[in-house]
Amino acid sequence: MTLTATLLELSRHHRAALSARDRADFEDELDRLRMLRVPEDGLDEGDYLPDFALEDAAGRTWTSDELLDRGPLVLALFRGDWCPFCELTMAALETARPTIEALGATAVGVMPDRPPVIARTAARRQIGYLLLSDPANAFARTCGLAYDLSPGHIRIHQERGRDLPAAHGDRAWRLPVPAVFVVERTARVAFAFSDADPSRWPDPEELLASLRELGDAHALLNR
């Protein structure tokens, strides 16, 4: 089963398990975000990746310039370890990581949680790629891919014991839009995907195909 099909199946089970009130609030949130066009107006193909300086699980700061000096990036925005859809997309990126690295690129995940939570997530999920902390969703906001939660969506998280502002070092209830990008060494975005619905994410082969195209173009330029 492809990642796309697995996510859609999880979405069906997830929605069926929700109460009528929770399901209505969840669907209202998706409708609101689509109306606001948050994904459509965010970082897209042809744009340039905003500069960042973000800490990893050990508190070491990584800059976008430092990472791009190594080669292209496959950079993903994840909502958090609590998100069942992120669990699958994190695992898919880890499965693709050896091929990503063989193509000369670096896989990077960005989450709004603090470094200690990032460390636990990496250990629990057995993630070998770089996970970076984005407090208060500052980088996601720079990308135009963060949104404030509606009262109904805040209620859903509170009833499940999640205090997102405290976890993110933020004053607002805010989350990133799930997204993934292939970024050239020049910081130009060669492939972009973002969707307000966390059950939608591209199959890793789409990312790998974009990286292969970059490699082919680089080889032609250097003949």
State which amino acid sits at residue 165: P
Q: What is the pLDDT of residues 156-177, one digit of tens each?
A: 999 999 999 999 999 999 999 9
Burial class of 91 by CB neighbour count within 10 A (0 to 12, 13 to 18, 19+) = middle
Q: What is the domain range of residue 109? A: 3-221
How many distinct structural domains can be found in the chain? 1
Q: Please name the residues in contact with 204: beta carbons below 8 A apart, sequence gap of 6 or more.
A: 3, 92, 93, 95, 96
First to last CA, the chain: 40
Mean per-residue pLDDT, 135-150: 96
Q: What is the pLDDT of residues 18-59, one digit of tens each?
A: 999 999 998 999 999 888 898 899 999 999 999 999 999 999
> Helix H segments across the chain?
3-17, 20-36, 38-41, 64-70, 84-102, 115-125, 138-142, 151-159, 164-168, 204-221
User: What's the pLDDT score for residue 12?
Assistant: 92
Domain of residue 61, CATH code: 3.40.30.10
Contact 65, 175 (CB under 8 A): no
Q: What is the pLDDT of residues 105-133, one digit of tens each?
A: 999 999 999 999 999 999 999 999 999 99
> Where is 67: in which H helix or E strand?
helix 64-70
**pLDDT, averaged across the chain:** 93
Contact 87, 125 (CB under 8 A): yes
Contact 88, 220 (CB under 8 A): no
